[in-house]
Copies of this chain bind each other. A is one copy, B any other.
Amino acid sequence: MSAKKPGNLIIGQSGGATAVINASLVGAVEAALADQRIGGIYGMHHGIEGLLKEDIIDLGNQPNSVWSQLLHTPSAALGSCRYKLQEHDLERTIEILRRYDIHYMLYIGGNDSADTAHRLAGAARQSNYELQIISIPKTIDNDLPFTDHCPGYGSAARFLAQATQDSTMNTLSIPWHYPVKVIETMGRDAGWLTASAALGKRSESDAPHILLLPEKPFNEQSFLTQVEDIYKQLGFVIVVVAEAMRNEKGNALGSSGQAGMDAFHHPLLSGAAQYLVELVKRELKLRARFDKPGDLQRMSSTHISAPDRDEAYLVGKMGVHALLAGESDKMITLVRDAQAPYHCTTGLAALSEVANVQRLMPDEYLNASKTMVTQAFYDYALPLIGEPLIHHTQLEMTRIRS
């Protein structure tokens, strides 16, 4: 890269959106605007898929108010994609970048996006095209390796923790009406998101009572036994299940068989909560129902975690700094350098080691039966969801006698 002539920067957002992915965009654009070594600041409209169509937008001349507002706007303002780069796309991508004089790229995404960025970096090297690429981590699934956690996770975790406490309040008002409630969360092969539903739990009798995490295959009999035991003890049971939960044969719970595969050959899943509700009704004769917050868990504008937003902004900004420091083919990571008070700085990991690797929950975060989290998980995750959750009070139940 010549030190004389400024290079153009292009930024893309990819994969499932989060409540704070735009904060990373804002951090990157603000850092780029502040440095004369960067020329034009461009955006891919719908990620690499848009770039291939030369659907490129101008980020350098947006109204100022856009950036302060985007800091609080969920979802991917640039538009996202779920496109797996084909071999023949690589050469064409380099050709387009060359034509637009783009030598810097930031790609905000999860595992699949890291793979895209890594392959593009390789293709540029092969073509002797000067291109630096940095991947900015983003996923509510929290399953990227080498980073303490992933921007986007804290806000989704805050939603699920508060939602589980709130929804349980309804069960508590009349436990025998629907004694079993199942809450279905997103998440692929790792249980981070499902586990976050426990972050408002203060005692063993508090909800949730059972977490069904992809880290341990579902066993019908032990699940039913556990539900029955808790029901006998408390009169109600709150279960949180990952939508990707599989049984011991590897089959997704309640998958309709019609959902198919996405572009990365991940099966599209639905129906775990429904499956469990039917199972409990049939086998235990207990009334049950489910909440499936769906996209709300990653889009809720009233549950954005302040540290999550701040860190999303930070990794965006540090992406530009890494490019200007000559780095490429790497992902920005979050490095926890203090626990009390919690603080993270950033680091770098080689994309060759990040791409397509999923980080599952470690054993130390799960109890022996792998259906509840440990104190180590609370220590890890509570700082990520920001200010304390709204805690619900109760009346003192002093009886009147006639």
From B263, B301, B402, contact of A251 by CB (8 A) = B263
- Give bound CA distance, A271 to B392, whole Å: 30
Residue-wise interface mask of A (10-43) relative to B, using a CB-CB cutoff of 8 A (1 in contact, 0 not): 0001001100000000000000000000001011
Interface of A is mostly: loop
Provide the residues of chain B in CB contact with A162, threshold 8 Å.
301-302
Take A291-B293, A292-B294, A398-B57 as given contacts and tell me if A275 and B266 are in contact as well, using a CB distance cutoff of 8 Å. Answer: yes
CB contacts (< 8 Å) of A181 on chain B: these are 295
Question: Which of A55, A266, A296 has the most chain B CB within a 10 Å cutoff?
Answer: A296
How many A residues are at the interface, by size bracket? 35 or more
Given known A-B contacts A75-B170, A299-B169, A291 and B292 have beta carbons under 8 A apart: yes
Of the stretches A61-69, A222-230, A317-325, A371-379, the one at the interface is A61-69
Q: List A367-396 residues whose CB lies under 8 Å from chain B.
A: 390, 392-396
Interchain CB contact under 8 A, A392 and B292: no
**What separation, in Å, do the CA atoms of A303 and B162 have in the docked complex?**
12
In the complex, which of the residues A56, A66, A402 has the most CB atoms of chain B within 10 Å of its own CB atom?
A402
Alpha-carbon separation in the docked complex, A177 to B82 (Å): 8
Q: How far is the CB of A253 from chain B (nearest CB, A)?
A: 8
Most buried by B among A255, A263, A281: A263
Residues of B contacting A269 in the complex (Cβ-Cβ under 8 angstroms) = 274, 277-278
Given contacts A56-B399, A294-B290, A393-B66, contact A174 B257 (CB under 8 A): no
Bound-complex Cα distance A68 to B162 (A): 20
Q: Which residue of B lies closest to A291 (CB)?
A: B294
The reply to whether the CB of A241 lies closer than 8 angstroms to some CB of chain B is no
**Min CB gap A29→B, angstroms:** 10
B interface footprint on A270-309 (CB within 8 Å = 1, 0 otherwise): 1100110110011000000111111110111111000000
- Residues of chain A at the chain B interface (Cβ within 8 Å): 13, 16-17, 40, 42-43, 45-46, 54-59, 61-63, 65-66, 69-70, 72-82, 96, 99-100, 162-163, 166-167, 169-174, 177, 181, 251-252, 254-258, 260, 262-264, 266, 268-271, 274-275, 277-278, 281-282, 289-296, 298-303, 390, 392-400, 402
A/B interface sample: 25 pairs, CB < 8 A: A16-B170, A17-B170, A57-B395, A57-B399, A57-B400, A72-B390, A75-B169, A75-B170, A76-B174, A77-B395, A78-B395, A80-B173, A100-B400, A162-B301, A167-B294, A167-B295, A169-B299, A254-B264, A255-B262, A255-B263, A289-B294, A291-B293, A292-B292, A296-B296, A302-B303
